Structure 1
Amino acid sequence: MSARARVVTVGETMALLRSGTIGSLAHLPSVDISLGGAESNLAIGLQRLGVQAAWISRVGADPLGTRVVREIRGEGVEVRCAVDPERPTGLMLKSRPTGTTTRVDYYRAGSAASALSPAELPGDLIEEAEILHVSGITPLLSPSAREAVRIAVERAVAAGTTVSLDVNHRSRLGSAEHLAALLEDVLGHVDVLFGGTEELALLAPQVDGSDARALLTALARPGREVVAKLGPDGAAALVDGRLHESAGHRVDVVDTVGAGDAFVAGYLSARLDGQDVPGRLERANACGALACTAPGDWEGGARRRGAGGVPARRGGGSGLAVSGAARMDPMTTTPPPGPSPVGSVDKALSLLEVLAEAGPEGMTLRDISAESGLNKASAHRLLRALMHRGFAEQAVTDQTYRLGAALPLLASRFEREENLPVLMAPALAAISQEVQELVHLSRLDGPHVLYLDKVEPERALRVWSRVGSRAPAARTAMGRAILTADGVRGAGLESYARASEGADGGRTVTAAHLEEVIAEAQRRGWASEVEENEAGIACVGVALVRPGGRSVAVSVTGPIERMDAARREEVGALLREQLATLAPTGFSVAELG
C-alpha cells in the first residue's frame, strides 16, 4: 500500500501537444505529446522532492486521458481520477513561432475536468492530508468545479488540514474581477497564499499593484503566509508580521511554463521539511529557476539528492540535485553558467518581446507587468528608457504601449542582402519539409537570378544547383515571378530574353514568350517553367516584395514526373500560403493580379 498523501491537490490536467522546433504549428510536420496542468505539475514536483502527493481530477475515456493518468501515476503520484465516457480530455497546444516567443492555445471548453464536482472528492483523503492545495484555475472551469473547490476547502478546514492557494489567474478563462469574486468563499480559509504581484493585486484592488510589500501586508491574516512570486527577481513572503525576501537566479530560459508550479512545490516541500521561511523561499526560487531550463511543464523539475531523498539543511541550502546541463550546486543553488551579465538589459528585451506579441493594439502597463513578470514600477521605468530611444511608444488616447519606429528601422538595416539567407532559412526549411522537394531562394542579378540559398529534401533528387550560381531570369520560375512582381513588361523584357540565348544548354526564351508566361503568372499568382532551364525538371516560383528593397523569390523544383500540371497548381498555392505566414517581417507575398 502506498504511503499516505501528505499533500492533496485538485484540478484539470490536459494533454499537451508541443512543437520540438521553431515554427508555426500550421506547418510543422510533427509534435511531441506530453501533459500539463498546474495541479498535477505541483503534485509531480512534490513527489520528486520526496513528498507523497495525491491528485484529484477527471479525464475523458480516450487515449489522451489514458496517457495523462499513466504519466502522472508513473511519477509516483496517487491518482484519484474519474473517467468521463462522454466528455473529452482537455487539450493544450504549445509552439514556438519564433526563437524568442512561446504560444499556448487551450481547448478545454466542455472537457471532462470542466464537469468536476464534489462527487469526485474521495472520502478521508483530504482529512488525512497535511495540506490541501487548490488554484484559481479550477473555480473558473465551471460552477460545479467551483463548488468542488469550496467543499474541498470546507472539509480541510473542518479537519485542521492546511489550505494552500495559488491564485494562478488564467485570463482566457475569466477576468481578474470574476476570479476575485469566485475566490471570496475560500480566501478567508487560506493558510498559505501564493501569487505574482499582479495576481495578488486582484485580491486587494485597493492597493498599488507595483508595491509588493503593501500587497503582502494587505492580504496578511493571523497565521497566514503570503508569498509573492517575483520571477527572476526572486520572491518575498510575509509571515507572522515579518517580511522575508530572497534573490532569484539568472538562468538560460528555455520554457517558463510550469515554473510557478515548481516554485510552489519547492516552498511547500521545504515547509513540510520543517525549514524556516528563508529556507522555503530559497528552495522555491531554485525549483522555479530550474524548471525554466528545460522544455515542458514539469519534465525539468528538481529532485532530492540521493535515491531516497536527503533532507535539506534547516535554514539553508535547497537540498536539490539536478541532472544534465541545467545543474545547480545542491548546497548553494548557484545558477548555471551563461546568464546575461546585465539583468536590466534582459528585462528591457523581455518587454520588447511582450510588445511584439501585443501587436499594433498595444498593451496596458498592468498587462505588460503581468506578462513579463516585472512589477509595474520596474516595467514603467524600462518602458520610459525604451521610449527615449524610440523602441517603444505610448498612445495618447488610451495610454497603451506598443513597439516604436526604431525597431523597424533596425530590422531594415539587418535585412540587407547579405542577411537574406539567415532571414529566410526557417521558411525554406518548412516548405521543403512540406513538399519534399528542392527549395531555392534567389534575387535578380542583372538579367539573371542569383541563387542565395537552397534546402534539399530527405528523398533523393537529380536536380543540380549551387548557391552562388546564376541562371537566366527569363527561363526560371523565380526570375519570372520577380519580373512579374516588379512590373517589367514590353520592351523591358528584351534584355532578359537575350540573356537566355545559348546559356548553359537551356532553352532560348523569346520576349514574346516571356510576355505570355508573365501574363499567366499574373493570373495565377505564381510563375512556372517546365524543362526550360533543365531537361526533365519543372519549377514553381513565388515572389516576395518589401518596401524600399529588392524583390526576392522562392521556388520548389522537382522531376517532371512528380511535378505535373496538377501538382504545380497545388505547390503554387501552397507556396503563397506558407510564405504569407513564414516570410520575415517586412516581406509580403507579391499580389500579381
Structure 2
Amino acid sequence: MEKLDVVTFGETMVLFNPEQMLPLEYNHKFLKQIGGAESNVAIGLQRLGHKVGWFSKLGNDPFGRYIHKFVRGEGIDTSRCKYTDEAPTGLFFKEKRSSTDIRVFYYRKNSAASLLSEEDLDEEYMASAKILHLTGITPALSASCRKAIFKAIEIAKKHNVKIVFDPNIRLKLWSKEEAKDILIQIAKEADIILPGMDEGELMTGKKTPEEIAEALSFGQNKTVIIKLGEKGAYFESGDDKGYVEGFQVTQIVDPVGAGDGFAAGVISGILRNEPTSQAVRRGNAVGAIVVGVNGDVEGLPSSEEVEQMLNGQKDGQDVKR
C-alpha cells in the first residue's frame, strides 16, 4: 500500500454560494461549490505538494457524486469513500450581508455522512499515513461518528501515527457542555491541537492564549497552536513558545475556510520538519491567501504562492507582515 502523508475523514457538503451580497431570501443565483473542514485541509495539503487520503460516506445521489469527483479531481486519494442509499448528501448555503458578515445555513441533519461508523475505517489504510487529521465536527454528527473518531484515535496510537486535532466547534450541532466534554477527551489524545480563541475558552475556561495553551497541554509534551485571526497565532511546543505575527490582508472576500487553510499550512510545515514557529508562519500565510478568494477551497494556494507570501511577495506586490 502506498504511503500517505495525511489521512483525514468527515463530512463534505455541497455549498450554494450566492452571487450577490444580499440577504438570502433576495438571492436567486448561486454558485455550486463544496465545503467541508477535512476535505478543505486535504485539498490544501495536496496543493502544497503532499500525498493525502480523505474519505466520507456520501449519498448515492448527484451531490454525492459531485463531491467525490471534485475531491478526487484535486488529486486526493478517495478510494475509501462509500456511498449509501439510506440518507442524502448534506447541503449548506452561505448568506453574505457584507465581507465581514457571512452567515451559514446547514441542511445536514441525518445526512449520509452522519452514518459513518467504526466499520467504515480501514486500519491498514490509516496506518499508512504519517499524520491523522481530525476535527471536532465529525463527533458532533452522530453517535456512530463519535465512535468512529475514537476508533481512529485508537488505530493512530497503535501505529504511531501523529494526531492533529482542530476542535472546529459547531454549536448548531450540539450543546456547549457536550462539546466541551468530547473535545477535551480528543484533545488529551492528540499530539498537535489547533483551537481558535473562542474554542480554547470554551474547552478550558481560560482567557489568554498562554493560559489556554498550558491547559490544553495537560502536562504532556504536546504542541498547542492558538489561532488569533489577523493577529496571527500563539504556540507552545515544549519549551518553545511565542507569538507569530499574521500577514496583512488588503481585502477580505470570504473568510470561511481560512482556519482550514491555516491547518493545512501548519501540517505542511510539520511534514517539512520545520521549527514550530516557521510551520505556524506558513499556516498564517495560507490563511491570509484563502480569505481573498470566494469559496472554501478555491483560494487554497500552491506551494509557489505560499513561498511568495513568506518571502514578502504576492502577485508581484509587496506584502506587509
TM-score of the superposition, structure 2-length normalised?
Answer: 0.93
Aligned to 1:214: 211
> Aligned partners of 1:247 and 1:123: how far apart in 2?
39
Encode CA deviations 1:263-284: one digit per residue, 9 max, x unaligned.
0000001110111112101100
Q: Given residue 51 of structure 1, which amino acid in structure 2 is its aligned partner?
A: H
The percentage of aligned residue pairs carrying the same residue is: 36
Across the aligned residues of Structure 1 and Structure 2, the Cα RMSD in angstroms comes to 2.0
The Cα shift of 1:175 comes to 2.5
1:240 to 238, 241, 254: 238
Corresponding residue for residue 138 of structure 2: 138
Q: Cα offset for 1:250?
A: 1.8
User: Which of 293, 301, 306 is the aligned partner of 1:320?
Assistant: 306
State whether residues 177 and 202 of structure 1, in contact with CA within 8 Å, keep that contact through their aligned partners in structure 2: no
Q: Distance in 2 between matches of 1:111 and 1:223?
A: 37
Asked if 1 retains the 8 angstrom alpha-carbon contact of 2:117 and 2:147, the reply is yes
| Stretches of 4+ aligned residues off by more than 6 angstroms | 334-339
Partner secondary structure for residue 216 of structure 1: helix
- Match status 1:331 vs 2:317: no
- Amino acid corresponding to residue 219 of structure 1 in structure 2: L
* Distance of aligned partners of 1:223 and 1:334 in 2 relative to their CA distance in 1, 3 Å threshold: farther
Query: Any residues of structure 2 matched to 1:159-308 within 5 Å, and which?
Result: 159-205=159-205, 207=206, 209=207, 211-220=208-217, 221-251=219-249, 252-305=251-304
Q: Distance in 2 between matches of 1:128 and 1:245?
A: 33
Q: Is the Cα–Cα contact under 8 Å of residues 290 and 302 in structure 1 kept in the other structure? A: yes
Please state how far the C-alpha of 1:99 moved relative to its aligned partner. Answer: 5.5
Give, in angstroms, the shift of residue 214 of structure 1.
1.2
AA in 2 matched with 1:320:
V
From the CA coordinates, give the structure whose radius of gyration is larger: 1
Cα distance in 1 between the residues matched to 2:274 and 2:243: 15
Q: How many residues are aligned here?
A: 317
1:453-492 Cα deviation digits (max 9, x unpaired): xxxxxxxxxxxxxxxxxxxxxxxxxxxxxxxxxxxxxxxx
Contact (CA 8 Å) 1:64, 1:89: kept in 2 or not?
Answer: yes
Q: SS of the residue aligned with 2:189?
A: coil
Alpha-carbon distance in 2 for matches of 1:226, 1:335: 32
User: SS in structure 2 opposite 1:183?
Assistant: helix
1:334 offset after TM fit, Å? 6.6
Q: CA deviation at 1:96?
A: 1.4
Q: Post-superposition shift, 1:98?
A: 4.3
Correspondences of 1:553-572 after superposition (within 5 Å): none
Q: Offset of 1:219 from its aligned partner?
A: 1.6
The residue aligned with 1:351 is none
Q: CA distance change for structure 1 residues 113 and 123 in 2, over 3 Å: closer, same or farther? A: same
Larger displacement relative to structure 2 (266-275 or 25-34) = 25-34
CA offset at residue 146 of structure 1?
A: 0.3
1:337 is displaced (CA, Å) by 6.6
Task: Name the structure 2 match of 1:42.
Answer: 41
3-state secondary structure, aligned to 2:26? coil
**Aligned-residue offset at 1:228:** 0.3
Q: CA deviation at 1:183?
A: 2.7
1:126 and 1:270 map into 2 onto residues whose CA distance is 21
- Checking the alignment, whether the CA contact within 8 Å between 1:56 and 1:120 is kept in structure 2 is no
Equivalent residues in 2 for 1:440-459, closer than 5 Å: none
Deviations 1:393-442 (A, max 9, x none): xxxxxxxxxxxxxxxxxxxxxxxxxxxxxxxxxxxxxxxxxxxxxxxxxx
Contact (CA 8 Å) 2:133, 2:165: kept in 1 or not? yes
Q: Which stretches in structure 2 are left out of the alignment for 5+ residues? A: none
Scaled by the length of structure 1, the TM-score of the pair is 0.51
Q: Partners in 1 of 2:253 and 2:201 — Cα distance?
A: 28
1:331, distance to aligned residue in structure 2 (A): 2.0
Distance across 2 between alignment mates of 1:99 and 1:228: 24
Q: Which amino acid aligns with 2:232?
A: G
Residues 523-534 of structure 1 mapped to structure 2, 5 A cutoff? none
Mapped partners of 2:179, 2:33: distance in 1: 28
Residue identity opposite 1:167 in structure 2: P
| Per-residue deviation, 1:95 | 2.3
User: How has the CA–CA distance of structure 1 residues 99 and 238 changed in structure 2, closer, same or farther, with 3 Å as cutoff?
Assistant: closer
Give 1:100 deviation, angstroms.
4.7
Tell me, which stretches of 5 or more residues in structure 1 are unaligned?
A: 306-318, 322-327, 342-593
CA contact (8 A) 2:136 2:167 kept: yes
Are the counterparts in 1 of residues 285 and 310 from structure 2 also a CA contact under 8 Å? no
SS in 2 for 1:163: strand
1:8/1:126 contact within 8 Å kept: yes
What is the Cα deviation at residue 171 of structure 1? 1.3
